[in-house]
């Protein structure tokens, strides 16, 4: 009975008309303002979307409509925060962005503590390819050379005290 009473107390706290939940629902109900609109099809819609994202009409190009629902969001270059200048006077230096600068669709992935999209390479790319091909070729070469020399554990026939004698025969009880 006490567990039923505890359940009733918990369920009243989680009820949707609870003030905390109502406050949070009202507080975060304007997310639709940040949602991208439909994919622009006319020049007027493109101009309106470019103005919405603070881009000039010539620079605005929407992300191709491939069914993911990205709408009129602009296709921006993928530039990680680490690739941006540390000493530039950013409006938001912790994110390395300026006020009213359009954010990339994957901006949560491009922070300094996350994915670095275009890291500078230590060596030219052909060095990495030659290293990969050399290591894999070495392993394949070792495998092919050693293929003819199989290692097997030598096993002899089980030895009994006398030959051709059966030990421990269990005869049926019939």
Asked whether residue 169 is assigned to any structural domain, the reply reads no
46 and 67 housed in the same domain: yes
Distance CA 122, CA 168 (A): 71
| The predicted structure's pLDDT at residue 144 | 95
Share the mean pLDDT of the chain: 81
Dump pLDDT digits (tens) for 62-75: 988 888 778 888 99
Non-local CB neighbours of 48 within 8 Å, separated by 6+ positions:
40
Res 26 pLDDT > 70: no
Mapped onto helix, strand or coil, the DSSP state of residue 72 is coil
45 and 102 housed in the same domain: no
Q: Which residue range(s) make up the domain with 133?
A: 121-151
Asked whether residue 1 is assigned to any structural domain, the reply reads no
Question: Rg of the chain over CA atoms, in angstroms?
Answer: 35
22 and 61 housed in the same domain: yes
For the chain, the domain total comes to 3
CA angle, 19 as apex, 17 and 20 as ends, to 5°?
115
Instruction: Give whole-number Cα distances, 94 to 80, 91, 106, 114, in Å.
Output: 13, 9, 17, 13
Asked whether residue 44 is assigned to any structural domain, the reply reads yes
Non-local CB neighbours of 38 within 8 Å, separated by 6+ positions:
71, 72
pTM above 0.85, yes or no: no
Asked whether residue 161 is assigned to any structural domain, the reply reads no
| The predicted structure's pLDDT at residue 119 | 83
68 and 24 housed in the same domain: yes
Asked whether residue 168 is assigned to any structural domain, the reply reads no
* Average pLDDT score over residue span 8-36: 59
Asked whether residue 59 is assigned to any structural domain, the reply reads yes
Percent of the chain with pLDDT over 90: 29
Res 160 pLDDT > 90: no
Distance CA 82, CA 115 (A): 9
Non-local CB neighbours of 93 within 8 Å, separated by 6+ positions:
none
Asked whether residue 43 is assigned to any structural domain, the reply reads yes
Asked whether residue 171 is assigned to any structural domain, the reply reads no
63 and 89 housed in the same domain: no
Dump pLDDT digits (tens) for 114-124: 888 888 889 99
Non-local CB neighbours of 108 within 8 Å, separated by 6+ positions:
114
């Amino acid at each position: 009975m006490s567990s039923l009473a505890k359940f009733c107390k918990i369920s009243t706290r989680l009820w949707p008309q609870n003030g905390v939940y109502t406050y949070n629902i009202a507080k975060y109900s304007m997310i639709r303002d940040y949602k991208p609109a439909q994919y622009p099809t006319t020049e007027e819609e493109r101009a309106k979307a470019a103005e919405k994202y603070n881009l000039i009409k010539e620079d605005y190009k929407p992300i191709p409509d491939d069914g993911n629902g990205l709408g009129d969001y602009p296709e921006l270059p993928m530039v990680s925060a680490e690739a941006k200048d540390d000493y530039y006077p950013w409006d938001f230096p912790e994110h390395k962005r300026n006020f009213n600068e359009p954010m990339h669709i994957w901006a949560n992935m491009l922070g300094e503590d996350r994915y670095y999209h275009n890291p500078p390479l230590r060596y030219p790319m052909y060095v990495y390819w030659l290293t990969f091909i050399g290591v894999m070729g070495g392993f394949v070469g070792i495998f092919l050379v050693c293929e003819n020399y199989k290692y097997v554990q030598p096993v002899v026939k089980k030895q009994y005290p006398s030959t051709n004698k059966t030990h421990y025969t269990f005869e049926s009880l019939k």
